[in-house]
Amino acid sequence: MHLVSVSCLFRFRLIAVFGMALVAIPLGVAQSGAPGQVGVDRAHIDEVLKGLNRGKGVGQVAVSPDGKRLAWIEGGRGGGEIRVAPLDDLSKSARVTAAKADQHCGEGEITWAPDSKALAFFSACGSSEGQHDLYIVAADGGAARRVTALKGDVEEPAFSPDGTKVAFLYVEGATRPAGALAAMKAPSGVIGEDGVEIQRVAVVEVNASTPAAPMMATPANLHAYEFDWAPDSKGLAYIAAPPPGENTWWTAKLYTQVLGGEAKAILAPAEVAGPLHGLQIAVPRWSPDGKGIAFIGGLMSDQGSTGGDVWIVPTAGGKPKDLTEGRPTSPAWIEWGGSEYLFVSELAGGNDQLIRLHLAGDGSVSFGSPIFSIPGSVGDGRMSHSLSATADHSLFVFHASNFEHPTEIYGAKPGTVMSSGLEGVMQFSHLNDGVEPAWGKAVSLSWKSDAFRVQGWLLLPKDYDSAKKYPLVVEVHGGPAAAVQANWSGRGGVSATGLSALGYFVLLPNPRGSYGQGEAFTQANRKDFGYGDLRDILKGVDTVEAQYPVDANRVGITGWSYGGFMTMFAVTQTDRFKAAVSGAGLSNWQSYYGENSIDQWMIPYFGASVYDDPAVYAKSSAINFIKHAKTPTLVVVGDRDGECPAPQSYEFWHALRDQHVPTQLVVYPNEGHGFVDPAHRRDVMDRAVEWFARYMP
């Protein structure tokens, strides 16, 4: 397998919004121009789409600190099976579980003890109610031992450096998973005050004689998002904000706290001058000498979708320093390799890469050549772009895939070139040998748009024949601070690989506002939603049409979340697209500001609240240009979507119908921003295929 070539390449947490009352249209009820079957070969579509889910997934990987063992979750994060094997022979793997006999239940979130003698993980196998507790098992085998007695939502366990404790994020008494991907609770009571659920860092002693409730390490008046242990195991660094946590991540501060002591804010982006002012911070990492805390800082639209520059601030507080200023990449994850080195996992154009950043004693910063640079999706299943490393950082382990190759487990050794010819990269697993994609080949494209060089991916139709003409669908990613990467796909929503398998060109652009080209590029759509990024997308369509046999009369557009907004906005600005499918979109930034509980994310982008500057919100609202819309548009949304409330979709559908534009609105019951019911995800794809077939025949 060669991840360095692709035919020639939100877990991201979103933030919650309270749901609004809306009567759901029953599935299958068409509204104004529904497509019916219109010549669609349903049996063929079923056969093609069923063939997309090929190969085994890997949810998380974790190498032991001594480099002798590897643990991974086979089958997906949170829903798979934990396996442990000698690193030099993964075929000798054994299942690690708290289950009895052949019982299967939710297990995941693996982490090694610093001495490599034990593995900790969360499991619901001991609960009749699906409650996850922390378990620890010896690396050389034996029964898993339950450590906690919890009641709530848990994630991200981490051993203290001395191995005596495990900390994790905990929402005590949680009634739903944290974040806005999950369906919101029906609104009732005093909104924003009743039933507020606060995530804190909890700590438990590893050698407790019986399962126990953890110590709450962070205060009850702060919602914690991410944390790191102090090198002496006596305290924490964490990013937090006052509740409700769904709306305050964008104004969160960096805190330090001695266990049992009081929280101390050492950095507040809203209060500092310079390029970090008013932006977001993530991934705090305490330096080994205890003198500084490194973090990622930049313009981020969603908590968990991380990108920016690498910064460092003294532990005692003070002026933060930008270590990667002007670098044309988007760092997303960092780890100290010593007090003078940081390893940085970043997105560079269409590539995932790992670099080593050197902090010299005189304050200067230098970068070596990438340890690896892969045109694919890389990670270890924890945070965005995170990797698992041995204690001496001689080996980094991760799973990776691209459009041509399914997920496998790899390792990278800094400073070496492997015999395979892949610089620094070796393949450990062979879970998917012989598995071939069901879709067409992928090509990385770039094109000029205004002052920018934009990158994107083009999926060719399955069984592509250059002598034939094909329809094209543009799929716009969410965010906007995110990026399309090459990955083994085919699950959920409007599937790009599914459309390719059905005979479409699919363009996946990374327009301005995306990660991968540095902070200036990410910030280039501030106060300009829908304008510069749409020009970038249309230039991408021009590029594809100039190089490939695209039928210009059969070009469509789709997207989810911010991509849903871009779909709605695009059809009010141009007649270029003959059909559109908007998922969980935004039609009116002015009404959206008052409908959601995450209004703080918009202020860094729009520069002010809607009440202080309504004109800048009106400028980018598709509803204000609805008279120009002529494109038949399918609109889909979950009835309990907290990220992009269903009234936004209802408003757009209603306006199109009033303008006699063919449209259909489908509201899916009990779904949030990220659909969880497989039948609903499949229904979205079926309807999208039918819609494009009707209006781009």
Query: Residue 155 maps to which CATH number?
Result: 2.120.10.30
* 434 Cβ contact list (under 8 Å, min separation 6): none
CA atoms within 13 A on the CB side of 561: 21
pLDDT value at residue 19 = 28
Note whether residue 450 is domain-resident. yes
* Single pTM value for the model: 0.92
Tell whether the model's pLDDT for residue 326 goes beyond 50.
yes
Verify cis geometry, omega within 30 degrees of 0, for the bond prior to 244: yes
pLDDT value at residue 182 = 64
Order of strands across the sheet with 69-74?
58-63, 69-74, 81-86, 94-95
Q: Percent of the chain having pLDDT more than 90?
A: 79
Amino acid at 676: V
Note whether residue 259 is domain-resident. no
Place of tokens 């529904």: 34
Amino acid at 45: I
Distances (CA, A) of 649 to 200, 568, 603: 34, 9, 22
Tokens linked to 618: 């009106």
pLDDT band at 680 (very low <50, low <70, confident <90, very high): very high
The mean-pLDDT minimum among 8-12, 500-504, 597-601 falls in: 8-12
Note whether 204 and 147 are within 8 A (CB).
yes
Instruction: Note whether 675 and 554 are same-domain residues.
Output: yes
* 212 Cβ contact list (under 8 Å, min separation 6): 147, 148, 149, 204, 205
* 614 Cβ contact list (under 8 Å, min separation 6): 590
Averaged over 550-569, what is the pLDDT?
A: 97
Note whether residue 34 is domain-resident. no
Name the domain boundary from 213, 239, 257. Answer: 213
pLDDT value at residue 324 = 97
pLDDT band at 521 (very low <50, low <70, confident <90, very high): very high
pLDDT band at 491 (very low <50, low <70, confident <90, very high): low
pLDDT band at 192 (very low <50, low <70, confident <90, very high): confident
Averaged over 139-145, what is the pLDDT?
A: 90
Tell whether the model's pLDDT for residue 234 goes beyond 60.
yes
72 pairs with which residues across the strands?
61, 83
The DSSP H or E segment spanning 107 is: strand 107-112
Distances (CA, A) of 383 to 60, 333, 386, 398: 10, 8, 5, 12
242-299 pLDDT, tens digit each: 998 888 999 999 999 999 999 999 999 999 999 999 999 999 999 999 999 999 999 9
pLDDT band at 569 (very low <50, low <70, confident <90, very high): very high
- Please state the domain count of the chain: 2
Tell whether the model's pLDDT for residue 1 goes beyond 90.
no
pLDDT value at residue 86 = 97
Tell me the C-alpha distance between 380 and 87, whole Å: 15
pLDDT value at residue 181 = 62
Instruction: Note whether 205 and 134 are same-domain residues.
Output: yes
Note whether residue 409 is domain-resident. no
Note whether residue 60 is domain-resident. yes
Note whether residue 28 is domain-resident. no
> How would you write 55-97 as a 3-class SS string?
CCCEEEEEECCCCCEEEEEECCCCCCEEEEEECCCHHHCEECC
Q: Which of 655, 529, 636, 641 is nearest to 595 (CA)?
A: 641
CA atoms within 13 A on the CB side of 80: 19
3-state DSSP helix/strand/coil % of the chain, to nearest 5? 15, 30, 50
Instruction: Note whether 536 and 633 are same-domain residues.
Output: yes
pLDDT value at residue 130 = 87
Tell me the C-alpha distance between 146 and 133, whole Å: 7
* 184 Cβ contact list (under 8 Å, min separation 6): 16, 17, 18, 19, 176, 640, 641, 642, 672
Q: Which domain holds residue 75?
A: 55-177+196-213
Instruction: Note whether 119 and 61 are same-domain residues.
Output: yes
Q: Which of 535, 548, 336, 321 is nearest to 440 (CA)?
A: 548
Instruction: Note whether 543 and 581 are same-domain residues.
Output: yes
Q: Which of 182, 222, 183, 185 is nearest to 200 (CA)?
A: 222
Note whether residue 562 is domain-resident. yes
* 148 Cβ contact list (under 8 Å, min separation 6): 133, 134, 204, 211, 212, 213, 214
Amino acid at 311: W
Instruction: Note whether 88 and 49 are same-domain residues.
Output: no
Instruction: Note whether 528 and 593 are same-domain residues.
Output: yes
CATH code of 533's domain: 3.40.50.1820
Do the bridges between strand 341-348 and strand 235-241 make them parallel or antiparallel, or are there none, so unpaired?
unpaired
Instruction: Note whether 47 and 91 are same-domain residues.
Output: no
Instruction: Note whether 517 and 605 are same-domain residues.
Output: yes
Name the domain boundary from 186, 213, 240. Answer: 213
pLDDT value at residue 630 = 98
Residue 13 three-state SS: coil
Instruction: Note whether 105 and 137 are same-domain residues.
Output: yes
Instruction: Note whether 82 and 172 are same-domain residues.
Output: yes
362-411 pLDDT, tens digit each: 889 999 889 999 999 999 999 999 999 999 999 999 999 999 999 999 99
Mind giving me the DSSP string for 366-416? EE---SEEESSEEE-SSSTT--EE-TTSS-EEEEEE-SSS--EEEEE-TT-
Note whether residue 679 is domain-resident. yes
Amino acid at 237: A
Distances (CA, A) of 27 to 30, 494, 530, 667: 8, 17, 30, 7
Instruction: Note whether 532 and 598 are same-domain residues.
Output: yes
Tell whether the model's pLDDT for residue 13 goes beyond 80.
no
Tell me the C-alpha distance between 284 and 468, whole Å: 52
pLDDT band at 544 (very low <50, low <70, confident <90, very high): very high
**What count of other Cβ atoms lies within 10 Å of the Cβ of residue 431?**
19
> How would you write 263-286 as a 3-class SS string?
CEEEECHHHCCCCCCCCEEEEEEE
Distances (CA, A) of 624 to 39, 530, 533, 659: 35, 13, 18, 13
The mean-pLDDT minimum among 32-41, 102-111, 223-232, 466-475 falls in: 32-41
Q: Which of 115, 169, 105 is nearest to 138 (CA)?
A: 115
Distances (CA, A) of 65 to 69, 91, 394, 398, 663: 9, 20, 10, 14, 56
